[in-house]
Structure 1
Amino acid sequence: MSLDVDQIVDRRRLRRKLTFWRVVGVLAVVAAVAVGSYVAVGRTVLASSPHVARVVIGGIIRNDRDRVKMLEEIGRSNARAVIVSIDSPGGTVTGAEQLYDALRQLAAKKPVVAVVEGMAASGGYIAAIGSDHIVSRRNAMVGSIGVIFQFPNVTDLLGKIGVTVEDIKSSPLKAAPNGYQPTSPEARAAINSLVVDSYGWFKGLVSERRKLSDARLAEVSDGRVFTGHQGLALQLVDELGDERTARAWLAREKGVPENLRVRTWKSESMGSEFGWLRGAAGALASALGFDTVAGILSQATQAAFEKAQLDGLLALWQAPAQN
């Protein structure tokens, strides 16, 4: 009899748990629909009323179709002008190219001014020159005009532990360099030709957009970063200041009222194809009461995934290694 009572109690507990999680699931779906509807309505209101659009470019720049779509929507919106707030060390060459092209298409429809908040280096500077006017904080970093191709070579390490990686290739330069064998002069020359080609494209953009002489272009395109103050003298930026400076320029040169409201536009993506994983892990840690762990997890996985997804040619500033 006692066993039957225990079984009945256990079944009731299980039934209550199932009911609870079903209710949670339904509420989650309802919340998701409500948030989606709210975002859609908010986006419509944002686009229809006169305002100055703010677009934030931060972190590593890579290909982002959602961001391009957002910039196209801004072009069709009732925004009077666009402020591009930049704090980025760069990213992939193709990602920077995509962003630059999207900004130039937007600039054909709206006045676009870039504000360098902390850094507009390498691919971040490519984004900056996609604007009509560049404002930089005095001690922000700009420049790093150059391209890099990096790959690890573990040949010596594998030799020490007795591991040999063999391959059968259709031609000597197929999948070269691979990091498992010494890089041949032919492979190095092939990769160098890619770097030189993209570097020439980068310098051409800078020369065209900043109206630099050959001597000045050579001076600023050796890969160094400059402060905003230095960049002003080198014609890399137009003014020192912040977003208020950008608003004053828009009012002065483009007739955009300074009292017009600034609204930040955000793309639909979460930042990377791994965004759902970071969100789920962070949410789980937070739900369990580990808010600090959730924050650390989010930051650590963001940095790891950003590094993992960067391959090929990079327009990315890196601080010199300390000996």
Structure 2
Amino acid sequence: MSSSYEAFLYMKSVKRRLFWWRFIALASFMGALGIWSVHSHPKSFDYKRPHIARLVIKGEIRSDVSKFIKALKKAQDDTSVTGLLLVVDSPGGEVTGGVRLHNAIENFAHVKPVAVTMGSLGASAAYMLSAPANHIVALPSTLTGSIGVILQRPDLSALLNSVGVNMAAITSGKMKDQTDFTTHLTPEGHAMLQGLVNDLFDQFVEMVARGRHMSESQVRSLADGRAYTGRQALSLGLIDELGDEDQARLWLKNKLKITQDDYPFVDLEIKKKSYWNNFVFSKSFLGIILGEDIWDGVERSLLQNSLDGAVSILQF
């Protein structure tokens, strides 16, 4: 038997063993991951002792906020829930999502006390949903306010014409195609879209005025779209206190006349995707692959570009 053939058989044997070792290693990893997920993510249960519910709203706000609405309604109706702590760290997002959350939180605040604690951001639609809270706490460096609405409507008609593409739209009315980015935006179309933005803005102003017990004229004087630091917002009456989550917790306990130091704050159960999806597509996992800085930029770009309709968001 030639030495080259023996070498071939040897290499084939090594590859076979290497394959099985890789398979065993992968199976062991998956098994360990499954065990870890079971212990790290225990099954939820209904917490029946008196407690304050805690809800985290982080990142861009989408239009579909049904899971948050359901959790808030369940907590509102739960007699063991005595109040609500909202932890907000968001630049805003879609107007529809902000309005729906605002309404749910406003309904909650009519029944039980609500406190908001803001992280680095609590702006635009995130401020909208915070406005009906009984008490708003922000850091001195928090960016909040940014009361306003933006509707972006690209006009690619000139670009398409330059490459010989002419789009013909058959419409039932002259305004029907004015939201189509392949069609030239006419002055009448611009006025129509501006009217939509103005009405959404008026609704935003009304929500803030009602929640913050201010006149609409006071709110409008602050609502040119600019953001305010937490310290500025305090002096303008947009928030109630400078501090962090500890201050918001203390306010709730004082409001409810709770003297118990270890009174529980329990996170509301929000239905999420499967654990494996959360792991594979999580910021931590993709951050490892791409690098945290790159993934932060990709994530923000994807979310902002996928927002539909009018948005109320602090843009950087």
Q: Sort the TM-score into its range (normalised by shorter chain).
A: 0.7 to 0.9
State the distance in 1 between where 2:209 and 2:20 align: 66
Alignment of 1:118-157 (within 5 A): 118-157=120-159
Alignment of 1:152-171 (within 5 A): 152-158=154-160, 161-171=162-172
Alignment of 1:27-42 (within 5 A): 27=28, 30-31=31-32, 33-35=34-36, 37-38=38-39, 41=42
Runs of at least 5 residues in structure 1 that lack an aligned partner in the other structure: none
On the 8 A contact 2:287/2:295 being kept in 1, the answer is no
Alpha-carbon shift at residue 113 of structure 1 (Å): 0.1
On the 8 A contact 1:144/1:225 being kept in 2, the answer is yes
Partner of 1:222: 224
Alignment of 1:84-95 (within 5 A): 84-95=86-97
Partner of 1:252: 254
Change in CA separation of 1:41 and 1:312 when aligned onto 2, cut-off 3 Å: same
**What letter matches 1:186 in structure 2?**
E
Change in CA separation of 1:284 and 1:313 when aligned onto 2, cut-off 3 Å: closer
State the distance in 2 between where 1:162 and 1:211 align: 55
On the 8 A contact 1:81/1:256 being kept in 2, the answer is no
Partner of 1:56: 56
Alpha-carbon shift at residue 29 of structure 1 (Å): 5.3
Identity rate, percent: 27
Are 2:309 and 1:308 aligned?
A: no
Change in CA separation of 1:30 and 1:79 when aligned onto 2, cut-off 3 Å: farther
Q: Which deviates more, 138-147 or 72-81?
A: 72-81
Are 2:100 and 1:98 aligned?
A: yes
State the distance in 2 between where 1:89 and 1:285 align: 21
Alignment of 1:63-78 (within 5 A): 63-72=64-73, 74-75=75-76, 76=78, 78=80
Q: Which deviates more, 299-308 or 96-105?
A: 96-105
On the 8 A contact 1:80/1:256 being kept in 2, the answer is no
Change in CA separation of 1:57 and 1:279 when aligned onto 2, cut-off 3 Å: closer
Are 2:207 and 1:205 aligned?
A: yes
Alpha-carbon shift at residue 125 of structure 1 (Å): 0.6
State the distance in 1 between where 2:16 and 2:73 align: 51
Partner of 1:237: 239
State the distance in 2 between where 1:259 and 1:42 align: 27
On the 8 A contact 2:132/2:210 being kept in 1, the answer is no
On the 8 A contact 1:247/1:258 being kept in 2, the answer is no
State the distance in 1 between where 2:292 and 2:90 align: 21
Q: Which deviates more, 87-96 or 74-83?
A: 74-83
On the 8 A contact 2:177/2:183 being kept in 1, the answer is no
Q: Secondary structure at the match of 1:60?
A: coil
On the 8 A contact 2:169/2:177 being kept in 1, the answer is no
Q: TM-score, normalised by structure 2?
A: 0.79
Q: Secondary structure at the match of 1:188?
A: helix
Alpha-carbon shift at residue 207 of structure 1 (Å): 2.0
Alignment of 1:275-294 (within 5 A): 278-279=281-282, 283=285, 286=288, 293-294=290-291
Partner of 1:183: 185
Change in CA separation of 1:68 and 1:199 when aligned onto 2, cut-off 3 Å: same
- Count of paired positions: 308
Q: Which deviates more, 187-196 or 103-112?
A: 103-112
State the distance in 1 between where 2:305 and 2:206 align: 29
Aligned Cα root-mean-square deviation (Å): 3.4
Alpha-carbon shift at residue 92 of structure 1 (Å): 0.5
Change in CA separation of 1:222 and 1:298 when aligned onto 2, cut-off 3 Å: closer
On the 8 A contact 1:278/1:298 being kept in 2, the answer is no
Are 2:78 and 1:81 aligned?
A: no
Q: Secondary structure at the match of 2:137?
A: strand
On the 8 A contact 1:93/1:313 being kept in 2, the answer is yes
State the distance in 2 between where 1:119 and 1:258 align: 31
State the distance in 2 between where 1:278 and 1:40 align: 17
Runs of at least 5 residues in structure 2 that lack an aligned partner in the other structure: none
Alpha-carbon shift at residue 12 of structure 1 (Å): 3.8
On the 8 A contact 2:279/2:285 being kept in 1, the answer is no
Change in CA separation of 1:188 and 1:200 when aligned onto 2, cut-off 3 Å: same
State the distance in 1 between where 2:192 and 2:247 align: 45
State the distance in 1 between where 2:18 and 2:111 align: 56
State the distance in 2 between where 1:285 and 1:206 align: 37
